[in-house]
Amino acid sequence: MFLFYKLNKIIHSYLNDEQRALVADAFLFGADAHELQVRSSGEPYFTHPVAVACVLAGMRLDCETVIAALLHDTIEDTDVSSEIIAKRYGEKTAQLVEGVTKLSKIETHSKAELQAENFRKMVLAMVQDIRVILIKLADRLHNMTTLAPLRPDKRRRIALETLEIYAPIAHRLGMHHIKNSFEELAFEAMYPYRYKTLKTKVLHAQKHRDRLFRKIMERLQHHLAELLESEQLVSGRKKRLYSIYRKMRDKEMSFSEIMDIYAYKVIASTRRECYMILGAIHEIFRPIPGRFKDYIATPKANGYQSLHTTVFGPYGVPIEVQIKTKMMDDTAEKGVAAHWIYKAKSLSHDNAQKWLEKLSDLQQHVTKSTDFVESVKLDLFPDEVYVFTPNGEIIELPKSATCVDFAYHIHTDIGNHCIAAKVNRRITPLSYVLTHGDTVEIITSPNAHPNPAWLEFIKTARAKHAIKHALKRHEHEEFVHIGQQILTQALLKNHMDFSTISAELLQEALVEFNFPGIAELHAAIGQAHFSANTFVRFVEQKQQLESDGYDSQRKLLIDDSYLRQLAGCCTPIPDDPIIGVLISDKGLMIHRLKCNELLKLKKTHEIIETQWAKDCTGYYPVKLRVSLQNVQGAIAKVTANISRHDAQILSFNILESDAQYGIVQTMIEVKDRVHLARVIRGLKHLKICLKIERV
């Protein structure tokens, strides 16, 4: 009963008699269920659930959570069912236990997939009840303290997962004490020699700095008491080994640089007093410019509030000071768990719930669980940037986020239709990287669509998946349109059109070829997954039609909507003789009749007769190769000449170059062959251009 004595001592301070009796009953029930089980260390297995319950009770979590912690492994590892727990301790307790229970009866191809499925299940459960993740974090925390009996490779795997997922989640939820513990334990498990070496160095360095450290703290305490006529709680902030290691590794700071910064925390009675203390500290020590942050007026997304300032101390040593109230300090340590201590909605709790809802929205757009886990990792950035909407709302984004990330954070529709942004009232490109304090306004157009190039610079998982989803949908619409055109042409060549096909026959054909509807048929034809001629032959056999005078030479008309279907190998433009080739997954691709690739493609792919529509008004890419004299200003003359003839330069590359001659290749945009001829004539008038050829 020693195990229960420790737990009972903690819960006695905040749970009533009835609740403590329920916890005692759950303790006996759990002990009985796990009676014959032992851990890798040889200890009775039930020591683990009790330790998890103690962690949560230490956060003053409610009775249901403490009971769920005691029973969190019963469904997975014993004969106890969710129904039994619900009947004995209530439906909510059973749901909490179910939320942290791993999936066991699931077919996957790898252990990674099973772990991903388990994580996805847990996320869905914690969206419904945030206490699920609190139990999981406490569970992982105790497991991290008992890694020693495990194989080294298993220790490293668990430690890496903790660093990549669970520590950032704790950070997101504002639970800094848990996050810091995760990082220290994972660092020791992954790099035991580095951990031991660094720990020895830190202990040695602290001995030499201890006298000055105490002297500064006493001076702070004395001056604050004198100026404010009240005792302030001043304490030193211990430097964590993993934090030191990361600064040395990522910021390339030396060990002495890190250790020479003295860090303190001051606890104030009220929010107003925080600012008075700040003023008092700036009277004592000279502040370092640009090193003040007000997280009280502008809290972090995880609810963290504090004033941060760095000042010059004695002998010029930098002093970092954090100023906060007791409630702010508790929230910083316990995050969302502080909600149960103060019995009121907190900023950290509300923001955590919003983040969990975003995860729920994200998982709806990601099919594979392994992709979902990677997306969550992408969103668990330890460094944030805080920007503003034009209305003054604070938006938290990961460091290096762009205007596109901001747009998708506001709403998917805004992201899908954005064309530009105003940052601090100045027009900026969508790829602009946002910094702290920027005010961002997104400019949209109903006709705009996501650009695949955005995927190269965006940072958030939300934007990434929204863009991919929109591109896929837009691509599907294009395939439907192309397939409709191809099928219409195939029908016309066989003296038919849709008006001659009855609704009953059309439905019969769709059923025959397993298409839910006409749009799916068109998309399959557009992607070259299904032949239009197969459909036509089926209908023809059913109708046994005779010729009714349609032009059998009718060709598919190519206009501006087919820009994405133009083959990159020969870059056809209006007025070029062209032909269509159906390629699986790519769908219809338009080639020039002179294309070198065409001979090979004709042997294995279906050919579609095509011709240019008369109403082409867009600009089309075309490649030119220019041989020229290697003289000063040659490239400038070529590019200027191209621009003078109203052609847009998309790319410009030097292929070969020596002392006398060079060969360059450029991709330009023109309207048609006439426009291209005008550009080529212009280049021929330049004496430096020796040869111009279309690629």
CA torsion, ordered 84, 360, 301, 65, to nearest 10 deg: 0
Please tell me which residue in 25, 62, 77, 161 is annotated as part of the active site.
77
C-alpha to C-alpha distance for 267 and 224, rounded to whole angstroms: 11
Other CB atoms within a 10 A radius of the CB of residue 206 amount to 13
- Catalytic residue at 77? yes
Question: CA 284 → CA 175, 266, 312, 369, 373, distances in Å?
Answer: 32, 15, 10, 55, 49
Amino acid at 281: I
Other CB atoms within a 10 A radius of the CB of residue 478 amount to 20
Please tell me whether residue 411 adopts helix, strand or coil conformation: coil
- Catalytic residue at 210? no
Of 279, 198, 268, 208, the closest CA to residue 240 belongs to 198
Of 560, 598, 563, 561, the closest CA to residue 581 belongs to 598
Amino acid at 231: E
Please tell me which residue in 18, 43, 62, 76 is annotated as part of the active site.
76
What burial letters (b/e) apply to 400-423, b meaning 16+ CB within 10 Å? ebbbbbbbbbeebeebbbbebbeb
Interior CA angle at 238 toward 234 and 244, to 5°?
Answer: 145
Question: Which residues touch 208 (CB under 8 Å, ≥6 apart)?
Answer: none
Please tell me whether residue 582 adopts helix, strand or coil conformation: strand
| Three-class secondary structure assignment of 437-486 | CCEEEEEECCCCCCCHHHHHCCCCHHHHHHHHHHHHHHHHHHHHHHHHHH
Here the tokens at position 648 are 């847009």
DSSP 230-264: S--EEEEPPPPHHHHHHHHHHS---HHHHHTSEEE
C-alpha to C-alpha distance for 85 and 60, rounded to whole angstroms: 22
Cβ atoms 478, 523 nearer than 8 A: no
DSSP-assigned letter for residue 291: -
Interior CA angle at 308 toward 304 and 311, to 5°?
Answer: 165
- Annotated catalytic residues are 76-77
